[in-house]
Amino acid sequence: MRLRGVGRRYGLGGPWVLRGVDLEVPPGSLTRVEGRNGSGKSTLLRLLAGIDAPSTGRITGRPATAYVPERFPAELPFSALGYLTHLGRIHGLSRKAAARGAGEWLERFGADGYAGTPLAELSKGTSQKIAVAQALLAAPGLLVLDEAWTGLDQAARGVLDTAVAERVADGGAVVFVDHDPRRLAGAPDRVLRVTETRLVPVDTDTREAPGTAGGRAPAPAVPGPSASAGERPSPAGTRPGQPTAPAAAWVRVEAEGAPGAELPAGLPDGAVREYGPAAHGSGSGEAPADPAGPVVRLTVGAAHSDALLRTLLTADPPWHIRAVTTVGVAHEPAEEPQEPTEAPKEKA
């Protein structure tokens, strides 16, 4: 799908909301769109979805597309199941396939108990589940999500995270806007920002990230007692003796699992694991028993970060990504307890 010189304004002589937008949306891509409120993000998404037409320029090659709007029109004369089945038919599914798919997505989002409930009687959260389910029903070639996670509970957000990963893995393109900067952190192929009617790329390597100052990676961690001068622990994903990557080439992912969840198989080799506060000081290396869901920090070489995020997001149940941070050297937990030392005093 291609946008060439696309612009949009409302009313003759009205101010341009978007102008001179050139964009390609290839199959199997994940694109995040950012921008302040009123900058034109939703206008761009409506253009991508075909809900709105450009005032100037051309859009070509749009595949079968599904769209989740910022606000779902709940006042429709359908039950939840009837609405999804109807939308499935509009998307080209047979009645049987549409009804089957509708039931499967209702169950997946934990809303199967509301199949016969009129849309007007659903809560805001359940209505949002229906809005998302209708977009996923026919496995679209282009999925456009405008604040689709808003109003969903944590479990449903995880289902949508997984559904996005599945669409991309199956060759679909996904473009999304979300108010949470941590949403699918590290997973998008690119981040774009709408500013002053233009669409500009965001350099994710230099943007400010949690735990960093001005987007620069912090100083490398000090080697542990077992490392001699000039030596550093082997980076995650490498073998001892291999050349180490530059200090800034490490990524730390903080993730939260569902209650009782265990880390999925298939994590990148050598990923350094640090569990949440309940495990601090235990020295066991085992995940803590946390009824609210385990929290783990995984540090890997930057080249392995996409594989790590994909594994976490497609796990069953999926893990919620809380933060992705560029760090210095990936450091292994100390093998032996260290003698307590006096903490250095902070400079005024």
Three-state DSSP class for 113? helix
Q: Kindly state the tokens that stand for 204.
A: 């994710």
Query: Has residue 227 been placed in a domain?
Result: no
Do residues 214 and 191 both lie within one domain? no
How many whole angstroms separate alpha carbon 19 and alpha carbon 143?
A: 23
Do residues 37 and 97 both lie within one domain? yes
How many whole angstroms separate alpha carbon 44 and alpha carbon 8?
A: 9
Do residues 151 and 299 both lie within one domain? no
pLDDT tens per residue, the chain (348 residues)? 999 999 999 988 889 999 999 999 999 999 999 999 889 999 999 999 999 999 999 999 999 999 998 777 767 889 999 999 999 999 889 999 999 999 999 999 999 999 999 999 999 899 999 999 999 999 999 999 999 999 899 999 999 999 999 999 999 999 999 988 889 988 999 999 999 999 999 887 655 433 334 433 333 333 333 333 333 333 333 333 433 334 346 778 888 888 888 888 888 766 788 876 543 333 334 444 444 678 888 888 777 777 788 788 878 788 888 777 776 543 433 333 344 444 444 444
Burial class (CB within 10 angstroms; exposed 0-12, middle 13-18, buried 19+) of 322: middle
Q: What is the pLDDT of residue 218?
A: 36
Q: Residue 105's domain spans which residues?
A: 2-201
CB proximity list for 298: less than 8 A, separation 6 or greater = 252, 253, 255, 267, 271, 272, 273, 274, 308
Do residues 216 and 170 both lie within one domain? no
Contact 321, 162 (CB under 8 A): no
Contact 146, 69 (CB under 8 A): yes
- Backbone angle region of 281, left / alpha / beta, with phi > 0 → left and psi within -120 to 50 → alpha: left
How many whole angstroms separate alpha carbon 36 and alpha carbon 113?
A: 38
Q: Is the dihedral of CA 152, 153, 157, 163 positive or negative?
A: negative
How many whole angstroms separate alpha carbon 301 and alpha carbon 272?
A: 10
CATH of the domain at 160: 3.40.50.300
Do residues 171 and 287 both lie within one domain? no
Contact 172, 27 (CB under 8 A): yes
Whole-model pTM: value is: 0.61
Do residues 46 and 155 both lie within one domain? yes
Tell me how many domains the chain contains: 2
Do residues 184 and 213 both lie within one domain? no
Q: What is the pLDDT of residue 327?
A: 64
Query: Has residue 299 been placed in a domain?
Result: yes
Q: Kindly state the tokens that stand for 19.
A: 């102008």
DSSP readout, 199-262?
A: EEE--TTTS--TT-BTTBPPPPPPP-TTSPTT--PPPTT--TTSPPPPTT-EEEEEEEPPTT--
Q: Kindly state the tokens that stand for 207.
A: 């943007």
Q: What is the pLDDT of residue 346?
A: 43
Q: What is the pLDDT of residue 207?
A: 55
How many whole angstroms separate alpha carbon 114 and alpha carbon 132?
A: 15
Do residues 143 and 213 both lie within one domain? no
Query: Within its chain, how far is the Cα of 131 from the centroid?
Result: 18
Which among 25, 33, 18 is positioned nearest to 3, based on CA atoms?
25
Do residues 168 and 32 both lie within one domain? yes
Query: Has residue 338 been placed in a domain?
Result: no
Do residues 190 and 302 both lie within one domain? no
Burial class (CB within 10 angstroms; exposed 0-12, middle 13-18, buried 19+) of 238: middle
Q: What is the pLDDT of residue 46?
A: 96
CA distances (Å), origin 237, targets 133, 159, 299, 341: 37, 29, 10, 32
